[in-house]
Amino acid sequence: MKKKIILITVIAVITGAAGWIGYSKLYGQKKQNSQGLMDSRINFVSRTSGKTERFITALEDQLKENPSNAKLSAELGAAYLQRARETSDPEYYNKAEHVLQNALDADNTNFEAMYLMGTLCLSRHQFKEALEWGIKAKNINPDNAPLRSVIYDAQIETGKYDEAIKTVQEMVDMRPDLTSYSRISYIRELKGDIKGAIEAMKSAINAGSPAGENTAWCRIQLGNLYLNSGDDQKAEQEYQEAAYEFPGYVHCYGALAKLQLSRGNYNAAIELLKQAIQISALPEYIIMLGDAYTLAGQKDNAEEQYSNVKFINTMYKQKGIDTDMELALFEAEHNKNLEEALELAKKSFERRPSVKGSEALAWTYYKMGNFNEAEKNINDALALGTKDPLLYYHAGIIYRYTGHLDKSIEYMNMALKINPYYKNLYSE
């Protein structure tokens, strides 16, 4: 029987992440320590967030009795990382790093701990380090599919798109599951193949557990794909389904708020974002709440939210998370500390030379009045064919100032068709 192959071409070709880190069983192993992170006792991927907490407590107790057990340390590291996904609390990253280092100290060939160290680095936006960990793990266990997700994500975030396509092709050839399908979806999205991205994300959802946090995340990404292609009804259906399957999920509130903003229902978006921030004060939702207040004409409330963003980003940085690119784009969008924003964007691009980095550079150069550099970088940001309304809006404004009026009108129309509030939100 021929090996199943999914061709990842520009026509049929993935978290901001690539934005998503999944924890699935590790298959295709040859060594004893490759039996798998998630056995029947701790398969928390397909369970609710409450069970993750209970797994953590149980593993912590077991590790106290056997502190040199590398397998237990790796399992606890995985649980901490999953809990970080569920709560967005960066303190879990420090806890994960500690126990994963213990695992590696006890067994320096433990590829599971290496894989999870790579996952930790991805979460902290340390993409070059993540790639190194992924390659180390692969060298020990070349037959493992899920660990390639670390390599793929790091390649995407450092602009190695051709290499990333090869990596995800290997993943899906070895094990077509939620982890591989969701990443196929993202590379297709980056390449502008929205239809193909939707099909792959549906496959990811079908392969996942209905009650899993990672499946809920995939539903939200599917909703985002629908929203960015102009189908807000299907987007809402996916967001609501995710909320039903994984109650209290912070990203469900954020996604529904984004939908309400696109419909001009600013007060509804405000209420949803308040609920999201009560669960987790993520910078992206604090910024969105500030934007919703701005659109609703509540300037003082908006400024209060915006003032919190830099404080939280500073806190994230203290926890080892690189937020330079995100902070640069925020400051440029809101005309704050533009010289600092440009320096942050430049430094970030050195570490993350991706289309996202090019977009951040383009917009900060534009805000600084350097239109030639802005055009150069927006061209780079558009090079893959990514169909993103905010990218289109940035391109439309920049092309207007560099004299490409036809292109400016084209991109502005595409952006405002999806999110008409851009013209009232972002000052030029």
DSSP 91-128: HHHHHHHHHHHHHHHH-TT-HHHHHHHHHHHHHTT-HH
Residue 42 has pLDDT above 60, yes or no: no
- Could you tell me which residue, 169 or 87, shows the higher pLDDT? 169
Q: How far is CA 47 from the centre of its chain?
A: 21
Confidence of residue 10 (pLDDT cuts 50, 70, 90): very low
- pLDDT of the residue at 50: 59
- pLDDT of the residue at 37: 30
Tell which residue, 63, 34, 6, has the closest CA to residue 197.
6
- Distance (Å, rounded) from C-alpha 369 to C-alpha 72? 55
Q: What is the number of H-type helices and E-type strands within the chain? A: 22, 0
Confidence of residue 425 (pLDDT cuts 50, 70, 90): confident
Window from 38-52, 83-97, 287-301, 401-415 with minimum mean pLDDT: 38-52
- pLDDT of the residue at 19: 34
**DSSP assignment letter at 130:** H
What is the DSSP track for 148-171?
A: HHHHHHHHHHTT-HHHHHHHHHHH
Q: State the chain's mean pLDDT as an integer.
A: 86
Residue 288 has pLDDT above 50, yes or no: yes
Question: Quick check: 84 and 90 in contact, CB under 8 A?
Answer: yes
Residue pointed to by tokens 């802005």:
374
- Quickly count: other Cβ atoms within 10 Å of residue 178's Cβ: 24
Token reading at 15:
């978290």
Question: Quick check: 204 and 214 in contact, CB under 8 A?
Answer: no
- Could you tell me which residue, 92 or 12, shows the higher pLDDT? 92
Question: Quick check: 164 and 156 in contact, CB under 8 A?
Answer: yes
* Span 332-358, pLDDT tens digits: 998 989 999 999 999 999 999 999 999
Query: Distances in Å between the alpha carbon of 133 and those of 123, 198, 319?
Result: 13, 30, 20
- pLDDT of the residue at 90: 86
Window from 5-19, 40-54, 257-271 with minimum mean pLDDT: 5-19
With a CB cutoff of 8 Å and minimum separation 6, the contacts of 240 are: 256
Report the pLDDT averaged over residues 5-12: 32
CA trace torsion 296, 300, 304, 306 (10° rounding): 60
Residue 44 has pLDDT above 50, yes or no: no
Rg (CA), the chain: 21
- Distance (Å, rounded) from C-alpha 334 to C-alpha 357? 18
Residue 197 has pLDDT above 70, yes or no: yes
Q: Which domains does the chain have, with CATH numbers?
A: 323-425 (1.25.40.10)
What is the DSSP track for 365-422?
A: HHHTT-HHHHHHHHHHHTTT----HHHHHHHHHHHHHTT-HHHHHHHHHHHHHH-TTH
Confidence of residue 196 (pLDDT cuts 50, 70, 90): very high
Question: Quick check: 46 and 23 in contact, CB under 8 A?
Answer: no
* Span 242-260, pLDDT tens digits: 999 999 999 999 999 999 9
Residue 45 has pLDDT above 50, yes or no: no
* Span 266-283, pLDDT tens digits: 999 999 999 999 988 888
Confidence of residue 15 (pLDDT cuts 50, 70, 90): very low
Instruction: Please give the model's pTM, rounded to 2 decimal places.
Output: 0.83
CA trace torsion 220, 20, 292, 408 (10° rounding): -100
